[in-house]
Amino acid sequence: MSGATAKVQSLSSFVWSIAEILRGDYKQSEYGKVVLPFIVLRRLDCLLEGSKQTVLDAEKTLPDSADDATRDMILFGAVGGNVKVYNLSRFTFDTLKGQEPGQLHQNLIDYITKFSPNVRDIFLDKFRFTDQLKRLKDGGILWNVFERFCEIDLHPETVSNLEMGYLFEELIRRFSEMSNETAGEHFTPREVIRLIVDLLIANDDAKLTGRGIIRQVYDPACGTGGMLALTEEALKDFNPNIRVELFGQELNDESFGICKSDMLVTGHDPEQIAFGNTLTQDAHASKKFHYMLSNPPYGVDWKKYQDPIKAEAENMGFEGRFGVGTPRISDGQLLFLQHMISKMRDDEDGSRIGIVMNGSPLFTGGAQSGESEIRRWMLENDWVEAIVALPTDLFYNTGIQTYVWLLTNRKPASRQGKVQLIDASGERFWKSMRKSLGSKRREIPDEARAEIVRLYAEFLNGESGESEVSKIFNTTDFGYREIRVERPLRLNFQASEERIARLADEKAFQRLEDDEAEAIRAALATLPGTPFTNRSAFERTLAKALKGEGTKIGAPIKKAILSALSERDEDADICTDKNGNPEPDTELRDNELVPLNEDWREYVEREVKPFVPDAWVDESHTDARDKQVGRVGYEINFNRYFYQYVPPRPLEEIDEELKALEADIAGLLKEVAA
């Protein structure tokens, strides 16, 4: 075990012992509400200790005319370094220890409220830490908890920013696991994040080597910041000289507070973590990023945000984020992906995206639906590089199948026009956990993660063994044309009592006066009782019968009569329009999905005509974009590409098993009878 890891484990264990003081007054799932803010507070206290007096002196010399921005700039400068926080309280942890225990609550409030606004907001609005301090005071344990936190040395010389990040991540992980009923909402398992990060940088060795390298990383639904932290760690492990700038946005206030605090205690710019709804209030609207990764919420509807999102789609088109279309209101995952695509850099470095989603974005929605058009847009622009199917039961709040999508706008030549699918859901890629955590029963071990990354990096196409877990496809392999196949309308007509009675259900007939209705029934009663198999012949006979009764009808009544007196009859003549063309039977209408790379005419001759010779294709059913026959759709069906046939057991084996079971049952019955 490395020295840094040992130190983090030691600190984590000590902090955990402090959390035990809360037992009885707090549920285990609530420990983080106290411990995490206190860790942040103690780190900031240690960070600002050396510049305390300098900052207080600088505050006294501030000109009366100084605005907030000037004030912050001067006081940040007094702190020194890259630290973007100051505190104007006369207290520190050391001086608070010297005060009367009964004054601690009041003094801590003074200490917290005199932080710079960017930090004060975290403690007051996001952590709601004053509520926790009151709860600790009322429980009589505030001094005990505070005194123990004073024992932790979190000065930068003792605990580096990197080690502080490890400590924070370890605590977040442990507290999240304890509250696993909601952990999945803001915490992605570490092994899943590491897999995504490894996949993102797998083939970037040349671009990440050397000095002066800067990489900007972004997570639009950053939660507590785990993805950002582990991406930085991986990049630093590869190149210690690399400069990593982290950006994110989060809607949940507590998760935002944790993430922004993490940025503070690890020396990052906390202002690059924004609060709010990414989809409606993009806080980084003008920014582009090298790496983007996210685990957006699955299957969460965006109905309450739909107005600004749809307005952007309609008013800005492709100048905005959602110009190609929007998914159904019940699931906003693809909105996050569209948002991330809008932030791809257009320079030679380009961008890479890694996002975890459930199966819905792969295949939900038919041709020209919002989801299909989004898939079409991504595939036709050749951004989708690979999709990895993960094992089930990896996440804390759901056991469903999930997939990692990898996108980039700088594909190497070998991958252009191609998409790699990797089925990493099989047993070789996971192991059972010794203890389940909510819905999380499995994890991806390091060796399995390395194998998945190797499959991707080497761009393998079924060369990895008998199971063929990696396959390469053309982007067009996922496309199809939905053509409309029509069959002719064939009807017989008969003026039987039963069919004449149906007229009463026709709305046009219901609006007639009684005498008009009775005259029509009288005319129909004069018609031959035998069925007509030709509509034109029936219409001529009907006209004569109505004329004979001196009755005139309009088109709506004629339509009602033909509807009531007709039934489908495959042996009847084809009904034609005024130009002599066959009319389609809407009940027999069908749609065929023709592979995008195939001519629809050849497909119809081979797959349709042999079975329904009288069918034809409605050539007015065209695609809105390319105007060709058939509407274009895209879907990615993993099961189709990786399905493995398992033959049923031999009948002899099943028979032997049944006989054995019958014998067991007979033996049990004898025991009962005895």
Residue among 448, 456, 341 at smallest CA distance from 387: 456
Determine the angle formed by the axes of helices 226-238 and 161-178, rounding to 10 degrees: 140
Statement: residue 146 has pLDDT above 70: yes
Q: What angle do CA 440, 444, 445 make, to 5 degrees?
A: 130
Read off the tokens for 223.
Answer: 């939660």
Contact (CB, 8 A) for 336 and 358:
no
Statement: residue 7 has pLDDT above 90: no
Residues whose CB is less than 8 angstroms from the CB of residue 103 and which lie 6 or more positions away in sequence, other chains included: none
pLDDT of the residue at 352: 97
Contact (CB, 8 A) for 366 and 375:
no
Q: What is the percent of the chain where pLDDT is above 70?
A: 97
Statement: residue 183 has pLDDT above 50: no
Rounded Cα distance, 377 and 318, in Å? 11
Statement: residue 464 has pLDDT above 60: no
**Among 80-89, 110-119, 239-248, 343-352, which stretch is predicted with the lowest mean pLDDT?**
80-89
Read off the tokens for 155.
Answer: 């000065």
Statement: residue 98 has pLDDT above 60: yes
Average pLDDT over residues 489-518: 93
pLDDT of the residue at 239: 94
Average pLDDT over residues 116-123: 91
Rounded Cα distance, 73 and 376, in Å? 48
Average pLDDT over residues 147-163: 88
Rounded Cα distance, 286 and 546, in Å? 74
Sign of the dihedral through C-alpha 52, 56, 61, 64:
positive
Contact (CB, 8 A) for 362 and 356:
no
- The dihedral over CA atoms of 431, 453, 202, 294, expressed in degrees to the nearest 10, equals -50
Phi-psi region of 267 (alpha: psi -120 to 50; beta: other; left: phi over 0): left
pLDDT of the residue at 316: 93
The amino acid occupying position 244 is V
Contact (CB, 8 A) for 74 and 58:
yes
pLDDT of the residue at 463: 61
Rounded Cα distance, 167 and 173, in Å? 10
Statement: residue 582 has pLDDT above 80: yes
pLDDT in tens, 237-267: 999 999 999 999 999 888 898 888 888 877 7
Read off the tokens for 415.
Answer: 């991958």
Confidence of residue 164 (pLDDT cuts 50, 70, 90): confident
pLDDT of the residue at 418: 97
pLDDT of the residue at 506: 92
**Among 204-208, 434-438, 611-615, which stretch is predicted with the lowest mean pLDDT?**
434-438
Give the 3-state secondary structure of residue 423.
Answer: strand
pLDDT of the residue at 500: 92
pLDDT of the residue at 113: 95
Statement: residue 186 has pLDDT above 70: no
Rounded Cα distance, 252 and 297, in Å? 12
Name all domains of the chain by residue range, CATH numbers in brackets. 1-159 (no CATH), 179-468 (3.40.50.150), 491-568 (no CATH)
Statement: residue 181 has pLDDT above 50: no
Average pLDDT over residues 144-172: 86
Rounded Cα distance, 604 and 592, in Å? 9
Average pLDDT over residues 487-510: 94
Element (H, E) at 380: helix 370-380
pLDDT of the residue at 300: 81
pLDDT of the residue at 465: 53
Sole residue written with tokens 């000065």: 155
Tell me the pTM. 0.83
Confidence of residue 636 (pLDDT cuts 50, 70, 90): very high
pLDDT of the residue at 467: 55
State the chain's mean pLDDT as an integer: 90
**Among 111-115, 278-282, 434-438, 615-619, which stretch is predicted with the lowest mean pLDDT?**
434-438
Confidence of residue 583 (pLDDT cuts 50, 70, 90): very high
Rounded Cα distance, 173 and 189, in Å? 8
**Among 45-54, 95-104, 164-173, which stretch is predicted with the lowest mean pLDDT?**
164-173
Rg of the chain taking only CA atoms, in angstroms = 35
Average pLDDT over residues 455-475: 83
Residue among 194, 375, 369 at smallest CA distance from 293: 194
Rounded Cα distance, 337 and 626, in Å? 25
pLDDT of the residue at 5: 67
Average pLDDT over residues 655-666: 89
Q: Which of 10-14, 76-80, 619-623 has the highest mean pLDDT?
A: 619-623
Average pLDDT over residues 362-371: 94
Contact (CB, 8 A) for 590 and 485:
yes
Contact (CB, 8 A) for 392 and 401:
yes
Neighbour tally for 548: CB within 10 Å: 11
Higher pLDDT, 483 or 224: 483
pLDDT in tens, 520-546: 999 999 999 899 999 999 999 999 999
pLDDT in tens, 31-44: 888 998 999 999 99
Contact (CB, 8 A) for 85 and 48:
yes
